[in-house]
Structure 1
Amino acid sequence: MNIQNTALLLIGYQNDYFAKDGILHSALENSDQVGTILSNSLKLIKTLLPTDAVIAATPIIFTPDYSELNDPIGILKIIKDNGAFRSNTVGAATIDEVESMSADIITLPGKRGLSCFSNTELHKVLQENKITDVIIAGAVTSLCIDTAGREAADLGYRVTIISDCTVARTTFEQEYYLNEIMPLYANVMSSKDIEKSLGL
Structure 2
Amino acid sequence: MNDLSKTALILIGFQNDYFAEDGILHSVIEESSRVSGVLANTLSLLDERGRDFGLVVATPIHFTPNYDELTEPVGILQTIRQVGAFKAGSRGAETIAELKPYESIIREVPGKRGLNAFSNTDLEEMLRDNGIERIVLAGTVTSICIDSTGRHAAELGFKVMVLSDCTSGRTVFEQEFYCDTVFPLYGEVATSRVLKAA
Please tell me the TM-score bracket, short chain as reference.
over 0.9
Aligned residue pair count: 197
1:74-130 alpha-carbon deviations (Å, 9 max, x no partner): 000000000000011110000001133212111000000000001111100100110
Residues 56-75 of structure 1, C-alpha deviations (whole Å, 9 max, x = no match): 00000001000010010000
Following superposition, the deviation at residue 34 of structure 1 comes to 6.7
8 A Cα contact 1:18 1:34, kept in partner: no
| Local SS of the residue matching 1:166 | strand
| 1:122-151 Cα distance to aligned partner (Å, 9 max, x none) | 100100110001000000000000011100
Q: Secondary structure at the match of 1:80?
A: helix
The alignment yields a C-alpha RMSD, in angstroms, of: 1.4
1:114 aligns with 115
Structure 1 runs not aligned, ≥5 long: none
Residue of structure 2 equivalent to 1:26:
27
2:41 corresponding residue in structure 1: 40
Mean Cα displacement is larger for which, 161-170 or 23-32? 23-32
Give the superposition deviation at 1:53.
2.6
Q: Which residue of 1 aligns with 2:89?
A: 88
The answer to whether the aligner puts 1:171 opposite 2:165 as a matched pair is no
Q: Which has the larger displacement, 23-32 or 56-65? A: 23-32
Amino acid at match of 1:141: T
The match for 2:76 is 75
8 Å CA contact retained: 1:11, 1:137: yes
| Contact preservation (8 Å) 2:179, 2:189 | yes
Say which SS state the counterpart of residue 7 (structure 1) adopts.
strand
1:131 equivalenced with 2:170 (yes/no): no
The answer to whether the Cα contact below 8 Å between 2:140 and 2:146 also exists between their aligned partners in 1 is: yes
Distance 1:57 1:139 in 2: 12
Q: Which residue does 2:98 correspond to in 1?
A: 97
Instruction: Identify the residue that residue 160 of structure 2 maps to in structure 1.
Output: 159
For 1:136 and 1:32, the matched residues in 2 are separated by 15
User: For the Cα contact (< 8 Å) 1:14–1:94, is it kept in 2?
Assistant: yes
Rounded Cα–Cα distance in structure 1 between residues aligned with 2:51 and 2:147: 28
Under a length normalisation based on structure 1, what TM-score does the superposition of the two structures give? 0.94
Distance in 2 (alpha carbons) for counterparts of 1:90 and 1:135: 27
Q: Which amino acid aligns with 1:164?
A: D
The structure 1 segments of at least 4 consecutive aligned residues displaced by more than 3 Å after TM superposition are: none
Asked if structure 1 preserves the Cα contact closer than 8 Å seen for 2:33 and 2:167, the reply is no
Displacement, 1:50?
Answer: 2.8
Q: Percent identity at matched positions?
A: 48
